[in-house]
Amino acid sequence: MPDLATLALFSAATLALLVVPGPAVVYIVTRSVAQGRSAGLVSVLGIHAGSVVHVAAAALGVSALLAASATAFTLVKYLGAAYLVWLGLRKLMARAESGEAVEPPAASRRRVFWEGFVVNVLNPKTAIFFLAFLPQFADPAAGPIAPQILLLGVIWIILGMASDGAFALLASALAGRLRRSARARRRLDVTSGAVYLGLGAVTALTGERAAASGTG
């Protein structure tokens, strides 16, 4: 299993990503603003129920790759790092769109949950992200890959629920004054872009050091 230093690094990287709002947070915030705190918290549960599916898929997929070839596993890690860098560059070069967000129509708590679940499960970008991010912190030398991926995924989900829950509570508390502007969206793009670039660079360099130590 990953050592404590790896888990601490993973937790720090996860928090850095989670504090920068993405599509899931936008869904949670809009629900919180439109329908209040309870709807926002239910949407958090739905989103992360979907995350469970992606984590399980990543664990099975990465394990299959490693079983087929250690080289394939290393290639996935480097492709994952490159994907994170690409996300960062795209965010930095993104142009802020004008206009304000349209609040979703009111819905039952059950519908809010399942909408969040379906939106997350059926988002291919989320699946690709988990496949790119989680293997960066897995090490074949530390034991079977699938349990490592699952552990990392559980940590992600716990931290994600805490972070997204905070967004839901804050959004519902500030619902009367919360407005999304083009300038605010641009600042979020720049911040998230820097986070993705930094994470991609760190994981790529970490992979190089691990490869060097393994061949020495």
Given pLDDT bands bounded at 50, 70 and 90, which one contains residue 161?
very high
| Cα–Cα distance, 66 to 13 (Å, whole number) | 24
Terminus-to-terminus CA distance in the chain, angstroms? 23
Cα 49 to Cα 44: distance, rounded to the nearest angstrom: 9
The overall pTM is greater than 0.75: no
Assess contact for 59 and 208: CB atoms under 8 A: no
Give the pLDDT score at 213.
Answer: 40
The percent of residues above 70 in pLDDT, for the chain, comes to: 61
Q: Which span out of 59-63, 85-89, 194-198 was modeled with the highest average pLDDT?
A: 59-63
How many angstroms from the chain centroid is the CA of residue 112? 20
Measured CA to CA in angstroms, residue 20 lies from 37, 135, 193, 195 at distances of 20, 21, 10, 9
Task: Give residue 46's pLDDT.
Answer: 93
Token pair belonging to 195: 């986070």
**DSSP string for 39-74:** HHHHHHHHHHHHHHHHHHHHHHHHHHHHHH-HHHHH
Structure-block tokens of residue 215: 């061949």
42 pLDDT tier (thresholds 50, 70, 90): very high
Counting Cβ atoms within 10 Å, is residue 147 exposed (0-12), middle (13-18) or buried (19+)? middle
**CA 148 and chain centroid, separation:** 17
The residue ranking higher by pLDDT, 31 or 185, is 31
Is the pLDDT at 185 greater than 70? The verdict is: no
Distance (Å, whole) CA 98 – CA 216: 54
CB 32 within 8 A of CB 44: no
Q: How confident is the model at residue 44 (pLDDT cuts 50, 70, 90)?
A: very high
| Cα distances (Å, whole numbers) of residue 36 to 22, 29, 116, 167, 177 | 20, 10, 16, 12, 14
- Inform me whether the pLDDT recorded for 108 exceeds 90: no
